[in-house]
Chains A and B, each alone.
Chain A
C-alpha cells in the first residue's frame, strides 16, 4: 500500500515562493505519476500539474503555467511542488496525489495535505 507523506504547514509573504514535498513509501516510485491538487478554504479541488518520475516529464494546468514547477527525486522517492509569486489567493491546502502514469489515470493515493498561508 502506497503512503504519501507531505511536508508541514507554511506561512509565506506575498510575492515569495513555497516548496511542498511529498515522500512516497510502500510502492515503486517510478511507476506512478504524482499530481498536485490544491483546495482553497471552503472551495473545491483544483488540479495544478503532475510529474512522471521515470520520464522526468512534468505537465501543468494552463492557469499555473509559468508559476509552478514540479520535480521528483528518484533517490529519495520524493516529489516537490514549487509555486512562485504567491498572493493571498494561493492560500490553500496543497495535496499530492499518486496514481497511474496513463493520461487520465485516477488519483489512487493522497497525501495528508499541507496548508500554505500567504499573508503579510
Chain B
C-alpha cells in the first residue's frame, strides 16, 4: 500500500484559487467515493475540510470544494486567505477496512 501522490507544495496570492491534486489507484480513489481532505496548521491536529469527495462539514467555508475524476481527487480553495496557509492531506478508503493518506501538500499564500 503506497501513499497517495500529492504535490509537495503549491502557492497562490490572496484572492486567487489553487487546486491540490491527489492521485491514487484503482484500489482506492478509483474505486471508492470516500475521499477526505485535512488541513493542518503547524503544531496542531488536522481538521477535516472535505469528506465523501465533495461534502463540506458544518463550519467549513464554501471556498473549499472537492472533486474526483478517475484515480485523481482534487481540493480547490478559492478566494485564498492568509489563514489558508497550512499543510493539506488527502485520505481515501482503500478496501479491507483500511485507509490511506497522501504525502501532504504545503500551501503558501504569497
Contacts and interface: CB of A to CB of B under 8 A. Distances in A.
Nearest to B100: A47
Interface residues of A, number: 24
A108 B4 CA distance: 20
B101 A44 contact: yes
Contacts of B34: 103-105
A62 B2 CA distance: 11
Could you tell me the dominant secondary structure of chain A's interface residues? strand
Interface in B70-99: 89, 91-93, 96-99
Band of interface residues on B? 20 to 34
Among A46, A104, A108, A111, residue most surrounded by chain B Cβ atoms (within 10 Å) = A104
Contact of B3 (A37, A44, A95, A110): A44
Interface string A74-108: 00000000000000000000010100000111111
Contacts of A63: 1
B45 interface: yes
Contacts of B102: 44
25 contacts: A35-B99, A37-B46, A44-B89, A44-B102, A44-B104, A45-B46, A45-B89, A45-B104, A46-B101, A50-B99, A59-B98, A61-B1, A103-B93, A103-B97, A104-B32, A104-B34, A104-B52, A106-B52, A107-B38, A107-B48, A108-B48, A110-B45, A110-B46, A110-B47, A113-B45
Interface of A: 35, 37, 44-47, 50, 59-63, 95, 97, 103-108, 110-113
Given A45-B46, A50-B97, 10 more contacts: A45-B38, A45-B101, A47-B101, A59-B98, A62-B98, A103-B93, A104-B34, A106-B91, A107-B38, A113-B45
